[in-house]
Structure 1
Amino acid sequence: MILPTEPIGSIPRPPELLAAVADHAAGRIDDAGLAAVRDAAVRDTVRRLEELGSPVVTDGEQAKPSFVTYPLAGVDGLAPDGVVIPFADGHQRRLPRLTAGPLRYGVRADRYLRAALRHASVPVKQAVVAPSALSLLYPPEGVAGYPREAFLDDLVAEAEADVRGCLEAGAHSVQLDFTEARLALKIDPGGGVLEEFVALNNRVLERFSPGERARIGVHTCPGGDQDSTHSLDVDYAALLPALLRVKAGIFWVQLASEPEPDKALAVLAGHLPAEARVFVGVTDPVDPRVETPEEVRDRVLAAARHLPLDRLGTCDDCGFAPFADDVSTSRETAFAKIRARIEGTALAARALGG
């Protein structure tokens, strides 16, 4: 038998790209010079994933400033002092704050997809930011002349266009990065914020046909960044039932770093929607140690004891560098972990097929 396996998204950027981004910011190279280095990084990422035998590839998010802020490039009406996201090791990330409307994306994800498709000979998936994440741009005090309801209407329309553009451009699948799902329960253990996030994402997904939703999914993880997380201490049992009410056809679920994977798998199996496919994380990008194929195999076999084989696949827990400046994991380590995932998944498929 064959078990599908695929990356989540980001791959650490090569030193040449990081240097080019710094040179561009300092005015030492122009837009065309930066674009050429970015395209070379995308080409190298796709090539290396294909050489490892990845049946589905991504662009590695080489051109994105981060998985969450890419739509905001060139957008006016933003201030830098928005919501702060604290991580377990003490570092923080900060989102912009909306100061004026209407919200319009400055960049859509199909731009990155089309660049990857030029270099790929296998299917390409595309990650997009979930609208729930961008809803955090709107400040509690409101925005003069731009009610929250109008902002959410605009956000839903922009998010729909972002996803639809990727489907129309030929994406194998579109992955909504919903890392704020687990964080929502840390902010509000009662679950009200999480329910709002789920409802908002469903407003977007309801605009697509069942056939389209079969190619659209959500990814959840505890927010890996700089070898730390923002919400790994939140119990999956509190998250998964709500997460699985998202009207998506695919779920990519962090599991390798989960302290109680069997407990999480039992909850996942009990709430998995009919017809939905689930990809379980079998490599941990936050852990610098490279898993062996045998460890991956055993994680897959554990998942197979809970989940139907015809709806099971594997992935990495999360992206390896969701923010462009994250150099905590080397590019070589990321590809070594991906190799272990692909080889370990094949070992599990042979064991299950026998």
Structure 2
Amino acid sequence: MTNGLWTTSVGSFPKPPELLAARTEHAAGRLSDDDLSALERRATEDWIRFQESIGVDILVDGEMYRGDMATYFAEELEGFAIGGIVRAYGNRYYRKPIAVASVRRTHPITVEMWRYAQSLTDKPVKGMLTGPYTIADWSFDEHYGSRREFVLDLAHAIHDEAMDLAAAGARFVQIDEPAASTRMEELPLVAEAMGIVTDGLPAYAITHICYGDFMRAYPTMLDIPVDQIDLELTNSDFELLGRFREIPFTKHVGLGVSDVHSHRVEAVDEVVRGIKLALEVLPPESIFVDPDCGLKTRTVDEAQAKMRVISDAVAKVRDELGIGSALPDVGPTPGRNAGVPVAVASNATETEPALP
């Protein structure tokens, strides 16, 4: 039996109201670190139990202990100061990191919470990291002057964290790069930095990309040295899948099938349609099914409903096509360094400008 169409989530889930209130109290100095940590762990366990209850194959901890995905890491890395509040998009704001000295990692950042989440389940829990390019892109640089040098120093720091997660037992490590497809001329820098992050990494490596123009970023994104590229596809009605007919996708794909920017919960048959569109161009053993992006901006009820629909849709397609759910032994795949197909790369006529 062929196995495939494994279910997972991109990473973040919404924090329950009591944890949001506790974070406010903690920021004001009215709640201790230990009390906040206890609430974060309780919320983490609740999300682990929920994912198990609906049959998700590869779990996430939900990032109950994190705020902004870039600032969280900058706060833990040497060389950063944290600036004032800036708008990310809509009515979402974050404190923008500032590189004020050479960036380096001095201690593990996510390993303890990954260990805790993994201790709660026999199913694999993904290690979740923010990629070096995105951290740099969402920060001010008052030290380097060279964007490439800034990104590559961050890559070494994130590599060390990824290796520690793998040493702790993480079978899947995801390095989120939502900024990767926003500047087409910098995709080679994204790939160079990711090559540092995944160098020697024994775990299965994933990168998540959202925003940007995927039609322009493809096939260059295939040069990013990971085993799986997780893509936001629902918003574009799966348009990118048509490009896979012209230029083969050389890696596993994270198939985003639920719009995280909408309060509307998709019908099961809508998600089934997206999965079947992917199966027209990709084998089931290369497809991992998840929402378009992290679900932290939805309510708890909305996020749970969207995840249930994904699980139900995958179960329906598996039953219809006789696809099993057994997870393979994972680690580096041939696709990690496959890159753009040679025939396509050799026919390329455009060159990208050099980076400083």
The TM-score with structure 2 as length reference comes to: 0.81
Deviation at 1:84, TM superposition (A): 6.4
Deviation at 1:299, TM superposition (A): 1.0
Deviation at 1:29, TM superposition (A): 1.4
1:255 aligns with 2:233: yes
> Counterpart in 1 of 2:188?
195
The 5-angstrom pairing of residues 67-216 of structure 1 reads: 67-75=69-77, 77-81=79-83, 87=89, 89=90, 93=94, 95-104=96-105, 108-136=109-137, 139=140, 142-143=143-144, 151-184=150-183, 191-205=184-198, 207-208=199-200, 212=202, 215-216=204-205
- The CA RMSD over aligned residues, in Å, is 2.6
For 1:334, what is the secondary structure of its paired residue?
A: helix
- Counterpart-to-counterpart distance in 2, 1:246 and 1:271: 16
11, 16, 19: which is aligned to 1:17? 19
Deviation at 1:268, TM superposition (A): 3.7
The 5-angstrom pairing of residues 22-33 of structure 1 reads: 22-33=24-35
Question: Residue type of the partner of 1:193?
Answer: E
Deviation at 1:193, TM superposition (A): 2.0
Deviation at 1:105, TM superposition (A): 5.6
1:54 aligns with 2:46: no
Question: Residue type of the partner of 1:256?
Answer: T
1:306 aligns with 2:295: no
Question: Residue type of the partner of 2:122?
Answer: S
Deviation at 1:81, TM superposition (A): 4.6
Question: CA, structure 1 residues 136+23, in 2 after alignment: closer, same or farther (shift >3 Å)?
Answer: same
Identity of aligned residues (%): 27
- Counterpart-to-counterpart distance in 2, 1:302 and 1:60: 28
Question: CA, structure 1 residues 11+151, in 2 after alignment: closer, same or farther (shift >3 Å)?
Answer: same
Deviation at 1:85, TM superposition (A): 6.8
Deviation at 1:342, TM superposition (A): 0.6
1:79-110, CA deviations, whole angstroms, 9 ceiling, x for partnerless residues? Answer: 445896753x4766553111123433665222
For 1:62, what is the secondary structure of its paired residue?
A: coil
> Counterpart in 1 of 2:314?
345
Question: CA, structure 1 residues 155+336, in 2 after alignment: closer, same or farther (shift >3 Å)?
Answer: same
> Counterpart in 2 of 1:265?
241
1:131-178, CA deviations, whole angstroms, 9 ceiling, x for partnerless residues? Answer: 1112336756644xx976765553232111111111122223111101
Q: Report the count of equivalent residues.
A: 321
- Counterpart-to-counterpart distance in 2, 1:273 and 1:295: 23
Contact 1:11 1:334 in 2 (8 A): yes
Which consecutive unaligned segments of at least 5 residues does structure 2 have? 324-356
Contact 2:40 2:65 in 1 (8 A): yes
326, 330, 335: which is aligned to 2:304? 335
> Counterpart in 2 of 1:225?
none
240, 249, 255: which is aligned to 1:280? 255
Contact 2:78 2:105 in 1 (8 A): no
1:24-45, CA deviations, whole angstroms, 9 ceiling, x for partnerless residues? Answer: 1111111111111111011111
Question: Residue type of the partner of 1:218?
Answer: T
Question: Residue type of the partner of 2:200?
Answer: F
- Counterpart-to-counterpart distance in 2, 1:30 and 1:293: 43
Question: CA, structure 1 residues 270+63, in 2 after alignment: closer, same or farther (shift >3 Å)?
Answer: farther
- Counterpart-to-counterpart distance in 2, 1:195 and 1:84: 28
- Counterpart-to-counterpart distance in 1, 2:174 and 2:248: 17
Question: CA, structure 1 residues 177+253, in 2 after alignment: closer, same or farther (shift >3 Å)?
Answer: same
Question: Residue type of the partner of 1:343?
Answer: D
1:316 aligns with 2:296: no
Contact 1:217 1:249 in 2 (8 A): yes
- Counterpart-to-counterpart distance in 1, 2:147 and 2:92: 30
- Counterpart-to-counterpart distance in 1, 2:266 and 2:311: 11
Question: CA, structure 1 residues 69+57, in 2 after alignment: closer, same or farther (shift >3 Å)?
Answer: same
Question: CA, structure 1 residues 243+94, in 2 after alignment: closer, same or farther (shift >3 Å)?
Answer: farther
